[in-house]
Structure 1
Amino acid sequence: MTPAPVIELRDVTKSYPGGVHALRGVNLTVEEGELLAVVGPSGSGKSTMLNVIGTLDRSTTGTVRVAGYDVSELSDSRLSALRARHIGFVFQHFHLAAGRDAVDNVADGLLYAGVPLKERRARAREALAKVRLDHRSSHTPNELSGGEKQRVAIARALVGAPRLLLADEPTGALDTASGAIVMELVHELHASGTTICVITHDNEIADSLPRRVRFRDGEIVSDSRSGTCPASSRTEGAGS
């Protein structure tokens, strides 16, 4: 049996009071194991789409399915469970707890999964090793560089073994060298089987990924894969 897509959006809109239309009829399918960039300028709708995909916000109309679940049919508590089990988040500004070391910051990613503290910390150490930070596990955020903080944040997102990693401008607060290390990790994690969606305004980052979904004014204007013609000339992916 073919597994359900990790992400499936059909005719999705998101509107706010005052006539603001952040998403306009978006259609998007992301299969298991894909690595894609959602790219566009500020205000194009890409971050709104991340919030909708991540079930942090509900669409106004249309169908949103994540890991096979129609999110419109789930209560807030079941949405929280869906996020805890299936989705990992990485944000531009890390959101690490200042007084807690790297192990406990990563272990916090399992707080809502009902995992005992000892196991949370053991799994946190494994996740830190994956991002090559096991030697910094006892350090607090003020003792880490920006790039190291982002790698801790990635480990926290991965500690629950999510099917989907959503990374919102993961290199936006980093220098070029640290950003390159983070993107190297993204490629390694994808090679290990994680489905990853990177939200970015950086065309260089987008062009380094195998699939690029370009947003403008709340619509998908192109959807292309390396070695293929843009999907904007096909039906899939085009927002209308």
Structure 2
Amino acid sequence: MVVILCKQAQESSDAKPELKKGTLTMDVDSMIKSCLINRIRLLGFFILLLKSKNKIQVYFPIFVAFAGNGKSVYNAWRTPSMWNEIPAFYPHIGRRFHLRSRFIDNWEKVKLVKLELFDKNKRVMWMTFNGKNTNNMNWFDKKNLADSSFNDLAPCSTFNVFSINGDLRNGWLDRRFLVNRSYAGCAQDYGWFVIADTYKPCKWEKRGSAPVFIYTRNNTPRNYNQDSDTAETMVISVLMDM
């Protein structure tokens, strides 16, 4: 059985959140197939529960990062002491700091990982990864890539970097969560996705205060100068056994 629960906002700040809109149940295989086909978007106030063989699998956000707030995304992701539990209604709490769940440091039950970019409340990019037999740093790797919104990205694509650590050159370059094809000087940099976390040496990275979330559009050569856009928010969610 599959149960989808939607948590609704309360008008009174003193009222406790409650689950409304009932439940939806159907055959597990049919629901999973439907989810994959329609690429259901699950934001912080949506939780997907899959009940099967006496196990409950939960798909929920564990990290929310905001562009332009001056805080390092990389440091927030990898530092346990920087956790800030993610409230159900995180889109409304402000963007002054990134939100980090303690589930990041309890990775052994993770099955799937989803990274999404949003701009003006619209999802503009997503990637999903196999999370089995990974840790909270090496899941973001070409060998774990399962699917994405990019129409030419696959594990067999050509990369010079595909990692959370990205490309760090102290005092000059700081590119994290980097999915990059090639470098040949700023004018000839090609790739799919990058967070300009602190330093921004190239013109294509200088799009407001750090961090900057940059992705390239489909059906282009994927040159960061001509073919890229930016996003306001990055959300990382996981599917895990509970």
Q: Same fold (TM over 0.5)?
A: no
- The TM-score, its normalising length taken from structure 2, stands at 0.29
Query: Which of the pair has the greater relative contact order for Cα pairs under 8 Å at 6+ separation?
Result: 1
User: Which structure is higher in strand share?
Assistant: 2
TM-score, structure 1 normalization: 0.29
Q: Which has the higher helix share?
A: 1
